[in-house]
Structure 1
Amino acid sequence: MEPHLNRRDVLLTSLLAALPLTPTGVAASPLNPAQTIVKATDVLQWETQPSFPPGSADICPLTGNSSAPGLYFVLIRWHPGYMSAPHTYTTDRFCVVVSGVWWVNSGADFDPASCVRAPAGSFVHRVAGTPHYDGVIRSQNEPAVIAICGTGPVNFALTDPSGLPWRKV
């Protein structure tokens, strides 16, 4: 004998199938937006770096402020053909390349040809007080997005204060 489902059974089955269940089979509690804050990519606010030309580098602050005391976390998007000029910070920075290829180097002598390739997934630790520069070389097809975390204030300082903070390469 074949079982027949009535309308109530079909509706109840659909409702139960839609419930979020934990591995134990118990219904899970809904996400509390006050406890778990989710910012989908379509709501992230990208801004042109204030002292950089449009189309060179963008920043997306996620939490905190690199100019203020405390933890900060930002996304930086470098477009092909632009790099930072050699500079330092007074605090360490911890960077993960999210997408694209980021080109990095140490030292006060700007030499893009000597940069090291850091592809997506790479971790880069910028040690406080050491000069460095970075960006995306012109021949790359896409921007690089880098997640940067550290403790502020970073006190950004150019190694040559008479120059611009960016370089076209």
Structure 2
Amino acid sequence: MQSLRKAMSITPDAIAWEHEHPDGTRSATLVGVREAGNIFTYAFYIPPNVWDAPHSHPTASHLTVASGTLLLGYGPIMKPGAAVRHPAGSFLHVPAGAVHFDGADEETVIIGTAIGAWSTDYV
């Protein structure tokens, strides 16, 4: 985790992943802390053919697709065919409480900024 007072730059292939999850996804906090009232920036890696079930977050997230293509759909039922493709360079705003599902059909890295406290609440 980097201090908010220190300049930094990073490419998707240089992210130091902090957590590897059972489904092969990885995550890291790049800047800040995920505590209540604090802004933080995180990275999330999605391997090919992995989907995250419908869920929401308590605060909004501003996302940029750093590499690959993010597949994102909204609603409480997983419908991969309804997901919209967001290629590298895309910007997305996912509102607080918006139930969504996401996945990838190729290696994909997203960079997000949000305010803590952060959680993933599955439907």
Report matched runs for 1:157-168 at 5 Å: 157-159=121-123
Computing the radius of gyration over CA atoms, which structure comes out larger, 1 or 2?
Answer: 1
Q: Name the % identity.
A: 28
Instruction: Give the aligned length.
Output: 117
Change (3 A) 1:72 1:121: same
In the other structure, the counterpart of 1:108 is 76
What is the identity, as a one-letter code, of the residue corresponding to 1:148?
G
**Within the alignment, does 1:74 sit opposite 2:39 as a pair?**
no
**What CA RMSD, in Å, does the superposition of the two structures yield over aligned residues?**
1.9
**Matched AA of 1:77:** Y
Question: In the alignment, residue 18 of structure 2 is paired with which amino acid?
Answer: E
Aligned counterpart, 2:100: 132
- The two structures have a TM-score, normalised by structure 2, of 0.84
Deviation by residue 1:16-53 (Cα, 9 ceiling, x = unmatched): xxxxxxxxxxxxxxxxxxx643355576421334xx31
> Which secondary structure does the structure 1 equivalent of 2:89 belong to?
coil
Q: Which residue among 146, 156, 159 is the counterpart of 2:110?
A: 146
Q: Give the structure 2 partner of residue 53 of structure 1.
A: 22
Determine which structure has greater relative contact order: mean sequence separation of CA pairs < 8 Å that are 6+ residues apart, divided by chain length.
Answer: 2
Summarize the Cα distance change of 1:98–1:128 in structure 2 as closer, same or farther, 3 Å threshold: same
Q: TM-score, with normalisation over the residues of structure 1?
A: 0.63
- Separation of aligned partners in 1, 2:65 and 2:14: 20
* 2: CA distance, partners of 1:132 / 1:47: 24
Q: Distance in 2 between matches of 1:87 and 1:62?
A: 23
Runs of 4+ in 1 over 4 A off after TM superposition: 39-43
The runs of 5 or more residues in structure 1 that have no matched partner are: 1-34, 160-169
Amino acid corresponding to residue 154 of structure 1 in structure 2: W
| Structure holding more strand per residue | 2
